[in-house]
Amino acid sequence: MLQFILKRLGLAILVAITVSFISFSLLFLSGDPAAALAGETASGEDIEALRRLYGFDRPMLVQYFDWLASALRGDFGESYYFKLPVAGLIFDRLEVTMLLGVCGISFALLVAVPLGVAAAMRPNSIIDRLALFMSVAGQALPSFWFGLILIVVFAIKLGWLPPSGTTSWQNFVMPTIVLGYYAMPAIMRLTRAGMLEVLNSDYIRTARAKGASEVRVMFKHALRNAIIPVVSLAAVQMGFMLGGSIVVESIFALHGAGYLAWESIARNDLPTVQALILIFSMFYIVFTFLADVLNAWLDPRMRSS
């Protein structure tokens, strides 16, 4: 088991390095980093001076390995744009993104799983129709639009919540709903499908025949099996929320890591982008790994394979 974990870990690190190398090359293709750094008002000489200062005139491979060597020592360098250490910059913003991600996925699971179970228990009932409607709507609503509608209703018309910022917990209510809502349809559909399949299986009939209560059948026997693919999906969604909450962060002015990544790409802020890509890919890798462990806990058959 330990050997298996180590092997997986080694593989994960290779994946992270490959991702970072590919993104490094792509950034170089997307525009002259010195020109982006110098800004619109700079003259040709300004740009040349910066090119020399940051060593953009060296071969790309040399620059990449230079970066990798420092990154392995925990030194992500200084942001070209902010002139501040990248590690500190990202750490500050990761806090917001992590809080948002945890709230978002919790909200999504909390609403989508019970709804999926309820829909599966009474297929084609009102609840099922409602759940179907929600999932269609969830997939169709663009989050920038949904976010603005929430702002109009809850911040402007009702005045219950602040429109944007990060000063209090109230600032996180609307972003959590918007971010979570986006992940809900997939989780709910998967829960419903899993439950429907499981509820028709022999062991559920056996459980019922034994005289187990409906609650026990549902949660102890059925959900535990139906939830396995949901766990894997939630892990991927969580990774997506941490790296991809750009729109939500931008609308609600949350200044998280996703928005920082997006802006840093436009600014060709290589050290920041590189560090963020490494961190985001690590998130995916870690969450996938955790999902596997969780699944193994839920389903003993997986432990042996």
Partner 1 sequence: MKRTSLKLSIAALALSAAGAMPVLADKASDTLNVAFTKELENVDSYFNSSREGVVMQRAVWDGLIYRDPVTNEYKGNLAESWSWIDDTTLEFKLRQGITFHNGEVFNADDVVYTVNFVADEKSGVKTQRNVNWMKSAEKIDDYTVRIHLKEKFPAAIEFLSGPVSMYPNEYYAEAGPSGMGLKPVGTGPYKVTEVIPGQHFKLEKNENYHDSPKGQPTISKIDIRTIPDVNTQIAELFSGSLDMIWQTPADQAEKLAQMGNFTVANESTMRVGYLAMDAAGRSSMDPNPFTDVRVRRAVNHAIDRKAIVDNLLKGSSKVINTPCFPSQFGCQEDKAVSYDYDPEKAKALLAEAGYPDGFKTEFYAYRNRDYAEAIASYLNAVGIDTDFKMLQYSALRELNMKGEVPLSFMTWGSYSINDASAMVSQFFKHGSLDDARDDQALADLTVADSSTNPDERIEYYGKAINRITDQAFWAPMFSYNTNYVFKTDVDYQPTPDEVLRFTTMKWK
Residues in contact with partner 1 by the rule CB under 8 A: 30-33, 35-36, 38-47, 49, 53, 81-84, 89, 92, 99, 102-103, 106, 109-110, 144, 148, 151-152, 155-156, 159, 162-165, 167-172, 250-253, 255, 259, 263, 266, 268, 294, 297
Question: Judged by CB, which is closer to partner 1: 68, or 87?
Answer: 87
Euclidean distance between CA atoms 251 and 162, whole angstroms? 13
Euclidean distance between CA atoms 168 and 152, whole angstroms? 19
Burial annotation 129-158 (CB, 10 A radius, 16+ → b, else e): eebbebbeebeebebeebbeebbeebbeee
Question: Judged by CB, which is closer to partner 1: 30, or 125?
Answer: 30
Question: Judged by CB, which is closer to partner 1: 39, or 123?
Answer: 39
CA proximity to 173, closest of 86, 103, 112: 103
Question: Judged by CB, which is closer to partner 1: 203, or 297?
Answer: 297
Question: Judged by CB, which is closer to partner 1: 85, or 208?
Answer: 85
Shortest Å, Cβ 98 to partner 1:
9
Q: What angle do CA 150, 153, 155 make, to 5 degrees?
A: 85
Shortest Å, Cβ 239 to partner 1:
16
Shortest Å, Cβ 123 to partner 1:
25
Q: How many Cβ atoms are within 10 Å of 13's Cβ, its own excluded?
A: 12
Shortest Å, Cβ 40 to partner 1:
6
Distances in Å between the Cα of 126 and the Cα atoms of 90, 112, 183, 253 are 46, 16, 22, 38
Question: Judged by CB, which is closer to partner 1: 55, or 123?
Answer: 55
Chain Cα centroid distance, residue 209: 43
Shortest Å, Cβ 290 to partner 1:
11
Question: Judged by CB, which is closer to partner 1: 65, or 297?
Answer: 297
Q: Which residue has the tokens 């200062």?
A: 53
Shortest Å, Cβ 128 to partner 1:
24
Distances in Å between the Cα of 229 and the Cα atoms of 41, 101, 136, 276, 294 are 53, 20, 20, 28, 11
Euclidean distance between CA atoms 268 and 7, whole angstroms? 35
For residue 186, which amino acid is it?
Answer: A
What are the phi and psi torsion angles at 18 (to 5°)? -60, -45
Question: Judged by CB, which is closer to partner 1: 16, or 177?
Answer: 177
Shortest Å, Cβ 65 to partner 1:
24
Euclidean distance between CA atoms 246 and 226, whole angstroms? 32
Shortest Å, Cβ 140 to partner 1:
20
